[in-house]
Structure 1
Amino acid sequence: MAATTFKAIYNDDDVLMNAVKKIRSEKYHIEEVYTPFPVHGLDKAMGLADTRIAITSFMYGCLGLTVAIVMMNYIMIADWPQDIGGKPSFSYLENMPAFVPIMFEMTVFFAAHLMVITFYLRSRMWPFKKAENPDVRTTDDHFLVEVEVGDDEEALKSLLLETGAVEVHVPKKK
């Protein structure tokens, strides 16, 4: 038997934060929370693990820096060395101060673009994907909490109403 979920709708982010803390303290499992804007501290209140996206950003930046160094060394030193302003191109290290802006820009370029791609892939946000939002009001001014139903449905419903929910949607029994 598949677990069903109650959908509780809130109209204030402070009420939502207190509700999430109260629901978790009562040992109910929160499936998902939909909000129209980021709510600071909600991830901690839900008990979610810290994100590792900063580590990937650092790795993408290192990749961009490496590509920049290899590219500049090949283009400006190995492939077509030029004597610009009386400064000969005998080695990469002699000319590195002139290449610093290119290294910085390539580092930022790789980190930014690959982070966007990683975010979309991790969030499963493909082009032309249909929205999975259960209530259209959560894109405007309401907050929705999906709570997995345990053994006592009435206790959960009263808990959700007690925490300040303006609506509680109970799944229909088949």
Structure 2
Amino acid sequence: MLCLFWTIVGVLVEDLILNLKSIVRWALLKLKIRHFGAKWLIQNKIADPERIGVYGWSYGGYVSLLCLMKYPEFFKVAVSGAPVTSWDGYDTHYTERYMGTPATNPNGYSTGDVRQYFSGMKGKLLLIHGLLDENVHFRHSARLKNFPFIESEKDHEILLFPNERHIPKKTIR
């Protein structure tokens, strides 16, 4: 537990130094807590190190992408639903409230963009998005899909719901 405490302190200090603001800071904190948890499960022989996955939707989808890309030695698979992939493309009222603008906080926006961590991804990814999503617009997943996956050998699948919004309601048969 002391290790977890210092992880949290480290994230908060990093935030002060880098001026990342709330959204990215909390993502980094959640990421480090998941990393700590996966490491603890492996060290205590509770989890198979080759079978650890992470799942998240919306902001959680963003964090699950970061887990897969920043800690590939621990996370072997991720399911990422309707993820924010770059904060400059999300709801400006919400984002700018916590992060300022890209002009006033370029480091925060740069650090918060998952695409810069793509090269670290080694595991499998299932990317899910509703095409009518009014919260996290589909362009976030499209940016990710078009940016690195097209020309890579990364193991991924994308599941699109043409007539669904932020959280698909229909079941797959």
**TM-score relative to the length of structure 1:** 0.23
**TM-score relative to the length of structure 2:** 0.23
Query: Greater RCO between the two (CA within 8 Å, min separation 6)?
Result: 1
